Structures are given as C-alpha cells and as structure tokens.
Chains A and B, each alone.
Chain A
C-alpha cells in the first residue's frame, strides 16, 4: 500500500487531588518539565518530531508525521510514555505521597468530554465533502465495533464514547455539535495537493492492535477513494441514528444498519465490504497481517467469541475488566473506578497494563521500538527533516510546515511536502 502520512492527537487529563490547594496545574508543570529536558527540540516540538502543548485544560500530544498504520502506533505509545515519565517526576519532586493520575480516555466521571483526533494526508483531488460523505462516512459510522474504547457515559456502558457523543453527519465543530465527518481544512502542507482529513469521531485507545486496525482500515479506505474504487459502497440511510442505536448494544446479533434501499445489514457487513476492497491494496507482510487480524476480529465479533475478540477490541476488554472488578469488590463506585482506571497510563495504576502484563491482550510492537520512538522521529517523513534542521540551525520559529532559522539572516524554510526527508525534495524549499 502506498504510504500515507498520518498521526494522532490526544488531550490527556492529569488529576491530583491537591491541584487547587497546591496552586499548580500538573498539565502546565508537565510541559515546563518537558521543555527543560533532553527531549525538548524547539518551540512546542520534541526530539521525536511530535508537538506537545497545553490545550483547553489538557496536556496534548500530536504525534510526528508517520507514514503507515504500524508506525503511528509506536509514536502514539511514545507520547504516552513521555507523559508517564513526567507524571512520575512530578510525584517524586512535588506531591510526595499524593498521586498524580494521567488518563488517556475521552470522558471524566461527570461526563465532561475531551478529544482524541486522527489526521490523514489525503489527495485534494477527492471531492470534499460529497465523496467523503458517500464513501468514508459508512466506515466511520460502523468501525467503532472494533475501534471503540468503551466507556460509561450518562450512566450507560457504550462501545465508543466519541461515537455516542456525535451529533450529526458533517460539522466543523470540535467541542459541541460534532459530526462523523469534520470539515476542518488546515493541511500543514501544500494545500493544492493535500487535505489533512481531521477525524474526531475516534476514541483514545490503549490497545495497540485496536489503534493499528483503526489506522490500517481508515488509511486504506482513503487510498481506495483516491483510486475511485468505492463506487458501490453501501449507502446508509441515517448514519447518526444507527450509531446512536448500535453504540449502546454489546450483542453483535442486535446491531443494525439501515441502507438507503431499505435493507437491514450489520455494521460487520459494512466492514466486510471495505475488507474485501482493502484486500486489493495489501502488499507487504505488515499489511497482510493487519488484513488477517481485521478478518479475525470481524469473525470473532460475529461468532460471539468475545474472549478472543477482547484481545484486540478495547470496548470488550474494558467491559470484562469492569465485570471482574465488580466480582471482587462491592460498592457504588467500583464500576466507574474500573472503567476509568483502565485508561490510566501508569503501568502500576492502569488496569489495561495489568491485563497486558497478564497476557490477555495482543501487542503489535514492543518496548524497544517505543523507547527508540521516544528519542527519534520517523526516518521517512518530514519529521526527520525538521529534526535535522533544528540540529543544524538556530531556530527562531517552528511549526509543522515552516521554520524560521537564523543563519546570519532570518531565513524562512517551507516544508510543504510532509513526505520530504531532504530539502532538495519538491515543495520543501528554502527561500
């Protein structure tokens, strides 16, 4: 499959019960520590090519530009580990016995929501929004059966908090009244060639396989759209209505999607349509493996082999974790504790990591790869070039697609090609 620049953004929530009385915000403190560390590169960028900043009360990490569904998992996990390191330092230095929690999820217990977004660099030739509504929305409206993180929202267990909280098919909003398809158009690249598709209906995921499957399928479908290969895509009559219904149902036999012709299918059927199309794109070993994994996950969901599916499907495993907690401990808050503690990023606090250590969950990478990705950018995208320029010049200003360097005079370097690893490449020009 042709490479596709992609990445993720996560708004992490930090919480310490002394936050008010201690007079500091751990989100800001973590950023201060990061900028005073050997991981800091320039401005809001860190050495692995990611951008880390404070955004509406959260510690936000935008991964470096990765070029495939496998690397995005590694750099996303690297961001998670960097924050966990900062959290531990804050505990050691500032809060003593008082814990600082860091959550990678989308809602707090009172239902307040925050985001986790995906970005895909897609050809400008694909007509927006018409073809995205027709060809991509059926995917976004059904993929949560295997990409959902699971959560308790408004007293109910839902398969995907972000799907549950979506209000319409298309919208430019990111905080309220959000859509399955987001219209934001900030390419951070040559806008004549590329659109940065901003997907905001996805959940913050802990499970490596779930993250991988989400990016494998979505990036492959975008490539199929570029090739005009999805003309016969199933047309869903009312995608939001079906999302709202299915997202509250754990039994796959009861999931339903109504098509425009009046027929009723399962979200799994819609995903099988895409699976068949994606099969025409797969080339290398990673892609074959991802395709097989997707097929197995859909088979396991359909065959109600829930324990097998839970190794890769986060909403299922979180549900099992909650049920196990309820068997061991009584009390009104046990369900919520288990649900939220699943998403803590600290290995000693996280129910997810406890279950991963117990061998209950499938991984697609390893700690050594994540350690390297904490220090270094991907070597096949603009992140590599940006790092090289920062190591060479004094940086006056830095953003995804532009640097102002001081090499005697102030010089602007545009990095308009997100695939460029050298300045000689087209669209990465010094002027």
Chain B
C-alpha cells in the first residue's frame, strides 16, 4: 500500500523589503561640518513620556 506523505511547507520566500540599511547614512563623520555645529534650543525643551526610570521617593 502506498503511503501518503505530506510534503513539508518550504520556508516562505521573504517578502521584498522596501528599505535597505545604508551604513553610509550613519557612519560618515567626513560629511559632518564642524563649523555648522550649533546647540539647538529644542534639546533644552523636548518632552518625553515617563518610562522605566526611577523617581526618587520624597
């Protein structure tokens, strides 16, 4: 009697990803112009949500 063997599903082919990591975007100190570097007021004003940090007991 012939045995029925169910074929295992193959690994699905990965869907085409729209974005590819570009190291050049974040590892290019040569492109940073030091003379343009300025302090930004938004750094002193930004808001964040409370996360998993402490909050010293009064």
Say how far B34's CB is from chain A's closest CB, in angstroms: 7
A344 adjacent to chain B (CB < 8 Å): yes
Known A-B contacts A334-B39, A354-B37; the reply to A166 vs B56 at CB < 8 A is yes
* Segment of A141-149, A169-177, A220-228 in the binding face: A169-177
B40 and A349 contact, CB distance less than 8 A: yes
A340 adjacent to chain B (CB < 8 Å): yes
B44 and A336 contact, CB distance less than 8 A: yes
Query: Which of chain A's residues have a CB closer than 8 A to the CB of B28?
Result: 347
Chain B residues touching A, majority SS: loop
B21 nearest in chain A by CB position: A39
Query: Which of chain A's residues have a CB closer than 8 A to the CB of B11?
Result: 391-394
A105 and B20 CA atoms in complex are apart in Å by 28
Say how far B15's CB is from chain A's closest CB, in angstroms: 9
B40 and A112 contact, CB distance less than 8 A: no
Chain A residues touching B, majority SS: mixed
A101 and B51 contact, CB distance less than 8 A: no
A168 nearest in chain B by CB position: B57
A88 and B25 CA atoms in complex are apart in Å by 8
B53 and A162 contact, CB distance less than 8 A: yes
Query: Which of chain A's residues have a CB closer than 8 A to the CB of B32?
Result: 347-348, 353-354, 357
A398 adjacent to chain B (CB < 8 Å): no
Interface string of B9-49 (1 = CB under 8 A from A): 10110000111111101111101101001011111111111
B46 nearest in chain A by CB position: A15
A357 and B34 CA atoms in complex are apart in Å by 10
B50 and A37 contact, CB distance less than 8 A: no
A348 and B37 contact, CB distance less than 8 A: yes
Say how far B28's CB is from chain A's closest CB, in angstroms: 8
Say how far B43's CB is from chain A's closest CB, in angstroms: 4
- The list of the 6 closest CB pairs from A to B, nearest first, reads A57-B49, A114-B51, A113-B53, A165-B54, A115-B52, A37-B19
11 A–B contact pairs at CB < 8 A?
A38-B17, A39-B21, A85-B21, A85-B22, A101-B46, A107-B48, A112-B49, A175-B55, A340-B44, A357-B32, A407-B9
Interface residues of A, Cβ cutoff 8 Å to B: 11, 13, 15, 17, 33, 36-40, 55-58, 81-82, 84-85, 88-89, 99, 101, 103, 106-110, 112-115, 117, 161-162, 164-168, 174-178, 200-201, 244, 325, 329, 333-334, 336-338, 340-341, 344, 347-349, 353-354, 357, 367, 370-371, 374-375, 391-394, 406-408
